[in-house]
């Protein structure tokens, strides 16, 4: 009997050690998005998530929303049975979506000690800077005993148009982004239209990346007139309107240069409101075609984040 009990205890210890080692080896990826409250725009986010999951089948891939307001909207919808009945396609992960900090904490608590955070931001603006500060803060934790450190590795990737630093020249990221938009250019070319993108931009950091992207696209696709403006920062809608006027543009395809076609795309860009981009261009005598599709629906754009993750892992010794 004692011999049987000893074997049982030994087996439990071996299994416990195996599970512990397995937990320490687990890798997770957090896709940090601004988020959207528009159900029809969620496909952009889940498409990126699916692409990343396919590329890293052994990793757990979670979505996180950085917007407090958008998370609150989805959390309120947890109790809205009518909304859920009207939108059965909404994944449960969206109804219970959390911010990056909470998502990282839950993964760490579940035994994931290697966590990569990949932002789906367009450029290194306010959202990315704040997210980077969170990761820096978590990495500043230093426990007395190394084995009690919360992470073996916690690292952040870079936005689509790159980030400061010499490890990955952002000019190369801009070239890759320009090439990822080839299908949009092809549609505009076929329809004899100029291609106008509406980006979000921000008020606190230079939006020069948008200008560089515009320049790169004009170099690669010289036969199509291409313009990029932003809601916040430069180039403003007024700058775009002036360029359209100078070049005598009469037909425009208007698209969001954003991951999702949510509030800004539906209202600021494509609505019939007095100050929407569509209305402003139409008043100039321009024929406007709006396309409400986010960049996340573009497989080539989604693949940018996969590539950035692969480079992030390689630079941290994981292949």
Tell me the three-class secondary structure of 269-302, residue by residue.
HCCCCCCCHHHHHHHCCCEEEECCCCHHHCHHHH
132 and 213 together in one domain: no
pLDDT, mean of each 10-residue run, the chain (319 residues): 46 42 73 95 96 97 96 96 95 96 97 97 94 97 93 97 92 97 98 97 89 98 97 94 97 97 93 95 97 97 98 85
Judge whether 15 lies within some domain.
Answer: no
**209 three-state secondary structure:** helix
How far is C-alpha 268 from the chain's CA centre? 20
Chain length of the chain: 319
CATH code: domain of residue 131: 3.40.50.1400
215 and 308 together in one domain: no
Judge whether 175 lies within some domain.
Answer: no
Residue-number span of the structural domain to which 54 is assigned: 22-169+299-315
Judge whether 244 lies within some domain.
Answer: yes
Distance CA 37, CA 94 (A): 10
For position 15, what pLDDT does the model report? Answer: 42
68 and 202 together in one domain: no
Judge whether 12 lies within some domain.
Answer: no
Of 163, 179, 201, 203, give the one whose Cα is nearest residue 304. 179
Judge whether 123 lies within some domain.
Answer: yes
Sign of CA dihedral 234, 235, 241, 243: positive
130 and 195 together in one domain: no
55 and 163 together in one domain: yes
Judge whether 73 lies within some domain.
Answer: yes
188 and 105 together in one domain: no
**157 three-state secondary structure:** coil
159 and 70 together in one domain: yes
149 and 231 together in one domain: no
154 and 27 together in one domain: yes
28 and 153 together in one domain: yes
Both tokens of 264, joined, read 């800004």
238 and 196 together in one domain: yes
Domain count, the chain: 2
Q: How far is CA 279 from CA 225, 239, 255, 272, in A?
A: 20, 16, 14, 6
Distance CA 269, CA 275 (A): 9
275 and 308 together in one domain: no
CA-based max dimension of the chain: 94
Judge whether 16 lies within some domain.
Answer: no
């Amino acid at each position: 009997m004692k011999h049987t009990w000893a074997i049982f205890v030994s087996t439990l210890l071996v299994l416990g050690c195996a599970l512990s080692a397995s937990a320490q080896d687990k890798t997770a990826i957090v896709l940090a998005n601004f988020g959207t409250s528009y159900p029809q725009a969620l496909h952009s986010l889940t498409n990126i998530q699916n692409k990343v999951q396919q590329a890293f089948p052994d990793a757990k891939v979670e979505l996180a929303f950085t917007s407090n307001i958008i998370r609150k909207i989805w959390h309120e919808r947890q109790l809205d049975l009518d909304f859920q009945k009207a939108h059965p396609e909404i994944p449960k992960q969206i109804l219970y979506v959390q911010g990056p900090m909470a998502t990282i904490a839950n993964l760490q608590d579940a035994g994931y000690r290697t966590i990569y955070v990949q932002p789906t931001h367009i450029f290194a603006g306010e959202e990315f800077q704040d997210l980077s500060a969170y990761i820096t803060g978590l990495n500043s934790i230093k426990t007395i005993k190394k084995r009690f450190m919360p992470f073996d590795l916690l690292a952040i990737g870079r936005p689509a148009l790159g980030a400061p630093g010499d490890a990955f020249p952002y000019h190369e990221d801009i070239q890759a982004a320009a090439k990822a938009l080839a299908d949009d250019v092809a549609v505009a070319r076929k329809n004899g239209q100029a291609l106008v993108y509406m980006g979000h931009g921000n008020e606190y950091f230079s939006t020069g990346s948008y200008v560089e992207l515009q320049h790169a696209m004009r170099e690669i696709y010289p036969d199509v007139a291409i313009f990029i403006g932003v809601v916040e920062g430069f180039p403003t809608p007024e700058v775009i309107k002036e360029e359209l006027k100078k070049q005598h543009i009469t037909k425009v395809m208007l698209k969001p240069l954003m991951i999702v076609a949510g509030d800004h795309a539906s209202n600021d860009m494509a609505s019939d409101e007095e100050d929407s981009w569509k209305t402003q261009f139409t008043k100039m005598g321009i024929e406007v075609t709006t396309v409400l599709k986010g960049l996340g629906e573009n497989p080539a754009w989604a693949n940018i984040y996969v590539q950035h993750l692969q480079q992030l892992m390689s630079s941290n010794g994981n292949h």
